[in-house]
Amino acid sequence: MKVEHKGHTTIIKDTEGDSKTFLEKVSNQFTTFKVTNIILDITHDKSVDIKSIKNFVDLAKKFKKEKKSFVIVADGIDFNEVPPSLHVVPTVLEAHDMIEMEEIERDLGF
């Protein structure tokens, strides 16, 4: 797991290629990360499918309660099948863009 901080966002990259273990590690460290927006980069795990992505729903809800953005970067999945409670994008750049949009919405009171 590689952690990088950029302004008000923390990028956590899975380096092991196992999204289930990665989810456990991030969940266990929730109190550490809950003060920033989170980008989870799981592009290293080539076995990621929509079922694996859905496992992140509970964690995403925790960040939403903290009024922080939670975006997953994954490729090779059908983005139409992603639950509405999750934000999944194919690149880290798009994840940053999504967080910026959500920050603006929160500033405007949406």
pTM of the model: 0.93
pLDDT at 109: 87
Distance of alpha carbon 37 from alpha carbon 64, whole angstroms: 10
Q: Which domain holds residue 24?
A: 2-108
For the chain, how many structural domains are there in total? 1
Q: What CATH number is associated with residue 33?
A: 3.30.750.24
What does the CA dihedral 91, 93, 97, 100 come to, rounded to 10 degrees?
120
Mean pLDDT, the chain, whole residue set: 94
Contact indicator for 77, 50 with CB cutoff of 8 Å:
yes
Residue 12 zone, left/alpha/beta (φ > 0; ψ -120 to 50; rest): beta
What would the pLDDT profile of 65-109 be if each residue is shown by its tens digit?
A: 999 999 999 988 899 999 999 999 999 999 999 999 999 999 998
What is the spatial distance between Cα 58 and Cα 75, in angstroms, rounded to a whole number?
A: 21
Contact criterion met (CB below 8 Å) for 26 and 39:
no
pLDDT (0 to 100) of residue 76: 85
